[in-house]
Amino acid sequence: MTEKRDRRGGSGGDPGRPTGTRESDAAVGIIVREASWDADADACRRIRHDVFVVGQNVPVELEQDGRDGECLHALALEDGRPVGTARMFPDGHIGRVAVLDDRQGRGLGRRLMMVLEEAAARRGLEATWLNSQLSAAGFYERLGYRAEGPTFFEAGIEHVRMMRRLPPA
């Protein structure tokens, strides 16, 4: 699998770095990349289990919905250790965005989203969307997502649907 390169320039990264990384990331060994479900499923499952099943009491049968094979996945690694993941369906629906508690607040979620949004743009999608936990809606708003419609409950947690129009690839 080839690593994706960051095209944002400026403080967002160097064209020679894997997508979602910054110069300072290289010093601490952070890589955020597209993931192969066949090769990376165990790492993605472990992160999601820790974040959703253990951390948020989501029933394992809801978290493991059997649809991962349909999705493009992103994986964040710190010094080779899997610390974050996310997935995207072919229609641009992003979900299962998860960063281990002890690694949150370091920009990994933003970089996971960037990897998936860039993939969506390359595929010709005009927008990505997600069902955000209400407590995370501010994070997605800072990334350019806007709430659409009323709140609703999913896995016993209040959510809101959010959408972001993508710039042309």
Q: What is the CATH number of the domain that holds 93?
A: 3.40.630.30
d(CA 103, CA 128): 25
Evaluate if pTM is beyond 0.75: yes
d(CA 18, CA 102): 23
Q: Is 159 domain-assigned?
A: no
**What does the pLDDT read at residue 169?**
65
**Cβ neighbours around 95 below 10 Å, total:** 17
d(CA 69, CA 74): 13
Q: Which domain holds residue 60?
A: 10-125
- pLDDT in single tens digits along all 169 residues of the chain: 333 333 333 233 333 334 444 444 554 689 999 999 999 999 999 999 999 999 999 999 999 999 999 999 999 999 999 999 999 999 999 999 999 999 999 999 999 999 999 999 999 999 999 999 999 999 999 999 999 999 999 999 999 999 999 987 6
Question: What total of structural domains would you count in the chain?
Answer: 1
Dihedral of alpha carbons 33, 67, 113, 80, sign: negative
